């Protein structure tokens, strides 16, 4: 895995590149390190105004109301598409094509495939070329019809051919992205962030009927829009005690609350409430984490514990079971990039057991295809009604 070092520009001159290439390199650091990278544009504006001007004219960055630089919607789309391209060869249709389901209906038309007309098939999907060819072939096989009405081609039901269609189930997905302090190590968070960005590009380009929401979880759980996701970074560790047991009043929190804990419980609660409002045929939660839960919510109190406690795990698993009971498919991905963490593996396996979902352990480099496969597979869980 390549390593990067991010530091203040040393003043050494360099040759300007194309705006797109320059932005792609800038966005790599932005994904790796978060929004602090954009502060460099302020320095570039002073030292190399032509470079910043290239990005602005290309419509990739802009200044907000406070005069700070931010990525434009066009730039956001480029970053997401690059993340998707980084995971897959977009030319490999067998890998990235629309997935098949066993349910057929008036969904997305597949122009390359046709089938014999069956009662109930929409006439709007009629393949006129194949239908006429069948009628002409049948007419050629009946000499009497040719001589009686040489100008007429009669079409019967047996001639009808329609374009085959695939039923594409609308799916609501919530991706729970671990932003705890340990995700900063070994490129785990940047790899997970790239997967979330790729999912956004995939939904936008291939599954327009779907909804996708990314939720970052740490001590709390927070929904992330596209710009917030790109600007995000793990929460720095602020407590180094070997044992922690804190209770925080959510109605009157202290001025400083350590944010680097892992609150899977709160994120599952948040996701379940989000999905409850989605009228989708399928609903799923994808959890990406590198640690056991070290935080949970009890009433209006936030509980932070370290080392991970059995009580926190039990409360988190109970919430996972509630998600499953509401028909939500849950997939959990445990990142074991820096060490083999038996407790984490056991926890995600328990998650799979109580939800009937899936659990996988993987390194950050191997996560992308596994998450995308899980996302596509989770869209197929529709049952007949």
**Cβ atoms of 203 and 209 closer than 8 Å:** no
**What is the per-residue pLDDT for 340?**
57
DSSP string, 365-383: GGHHHHHHHHHHHHTT---
Partnered with residue 329 across adjacent β-strands are 284
Residues of the chain above pLDDT 90, percent: 49
Spatial CA neighbour of 362 closest among 376, 379, 344, 350: 344
Q: Which helix (H) or strand (E) holds 351?
A: helix 342-355
Q: Is 232 helix (H, G, I), strand (E, B) or coil?
A: coil
**What is the per-residue pLDDT for 111?**
46
Q: Where are the beta strands (DSSP E) in 86-237?
A: 108-116, 161-166, 171-178, 211-217, 221-224
**Cβ atoms of 264 and 287 closer than 8 Å:** yes
**Cβ atoms of 361 and 336 closer than 8 Å:** yes
Tell me the pairing of strands 329-335 and 108-116: unpaired
**What is the per-residue pLDDT for 275?**
96
* Percentage helix, strand, coil for the chain under 3-state DSSP, each rounded to 5: 45, 20, 35
Distance linking the first and last C-alpha atoms of the chain: 47
State the residue for tokens 């991706």: 175
Residue 137 CB partners (closer than 8 Å, separation 6+): none
Q: Write down the domain spans for the chain.
A: 19-71, 108-166, 171-378
Tens-digit pLDDT profile for the chain (385 aa)?
555 555 665 555 555 568 888 899 889 989 988 888 888 787 777 777 788 888 889 999 998 888 888 999 999 999 999 998 887 643 343 333 343 443 333 334 444 567 787 766 666 677 887 888 888 888 777 665 555 666 677 888 788 888 766 555 689 999 999 999 999 998 999 999 999 999 999 999 888 889 999 999 999 999 999 999 999 999 999 999 999 999 999 999 999 999 999 999 999 999 999 999 988 889 999 999 999 999 999 999 999 999 999 999 999 999 999 999 999 999 999 998 765 567 888 999 999 999 999 999 888 888 888 888 888 877 765 433 3
* 8-state DSSP, 83: H
Tell me the pairing of strands 211-217 and 69-71: unpaired
Q: How many CB atoms lie within 10 A of CB 209?
A: 13
**What is the per-residue pLDDT for 351?**
95
Tell me the pairing of strands 329-335 and 358-362: parallel
Q: How many CB atoms lie within 10 A of CB 274?
A: 17
**What is the per-residue pLDDT for 148?**
61
Residues of the chain above pLDDT 70, percent: 81
Residue 20 CB partners (closer than 8 Å, separation 6+): 58, 60, 78
**What is the per-residue pLDDT for 167?**
53
CATH architecture of 171-378: 3-Layer(aba) Sandwich (3.40)
**What is the per-residue pLDDT for 88?**
64
Residue 105 CB partners (closer than 8 Å, separation 6+): 165, 167
Phi and psi torsions of 358, nearest 5°:
-130, 155
Cα 1 to Cα 20, 68, 186, 204, 288, distances in angstroms: 24, 33, 9, 29, 19
């Amino acid at each position: 895995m390549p390593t990067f070092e991010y530091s203040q520009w040393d003043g050494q001159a360099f040759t300007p590149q194309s705006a797109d290439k320059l932005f792609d390199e800038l966005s790599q650091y932005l994904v790796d390190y978060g929004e602090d990278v954009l502060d460099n544009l302020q320095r570039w504006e002073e030292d190399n105004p032509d470079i910043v001007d290239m990005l602005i004219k290309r419509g990739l960055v802009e200044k907000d109301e406070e005069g700070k630089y931010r990525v434009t919607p066009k730039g956001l789309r480029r970053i997401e598409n690059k993340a998707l391209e980084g995971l897959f060869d977009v030319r490999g249709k067998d890998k990235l094509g629309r997935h098949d389901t066993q349910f057929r209906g008036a969904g997305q038309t597949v122009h390359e495939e046709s089938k014999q007309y069956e009662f109930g098939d929409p006439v709007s999907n009629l393949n006129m070329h194949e239908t006429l060819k069948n009628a002409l072939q049948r007419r050629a096989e009946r000499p009497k019809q040719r001589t009686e009405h040489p100008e007429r081609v009669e079409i019967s039901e047996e001639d009808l051919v329609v374009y085959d269609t695939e039923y594409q189930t609308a799916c609501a997905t919530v991706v729970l992205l671990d932003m705890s302090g340990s995700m900063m190590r070994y490129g785990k968070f940047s790899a997970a962030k790239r997967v979330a960005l790729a999912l956004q590009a995939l939904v936008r380009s291939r599954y327009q009927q779907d909804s996708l929401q990314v939720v970052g979880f740490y001590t709390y759980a927070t929904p992330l829009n596209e710009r917030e996701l790109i600007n995000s970074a793990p929460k720095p560790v602020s407590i180094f005690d070997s044992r922690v047991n804190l209770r925080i009043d959510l109605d009157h929190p202290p001025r400083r609350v350590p944010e680097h804990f892992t609150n899977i419980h709160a994120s599952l609660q948040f996701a379940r409430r989000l999905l409850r409002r989605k009228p989708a045929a399928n609903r799923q939660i994808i959890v990406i984490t590198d640690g056991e839960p070290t935080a949970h919510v009890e009433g209006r109190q936030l509980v932070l514990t370290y080392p991970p406690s059995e009580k926190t795990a039990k409360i988190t698993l109970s919430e996972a079971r509630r998600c499953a009971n509401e028909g939500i498919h849950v997939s959990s991905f445990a990142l074991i990039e820096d060490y083999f963490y038996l407790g984490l593996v056991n926890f995600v396996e328990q998650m799979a057991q109580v939800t009937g979902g899936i659990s996988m352990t993987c390194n950050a480099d191997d996560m992308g295809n596994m998450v995308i496969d899980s996302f596509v597979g989770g869209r197929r869980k529709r049952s007949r009604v």
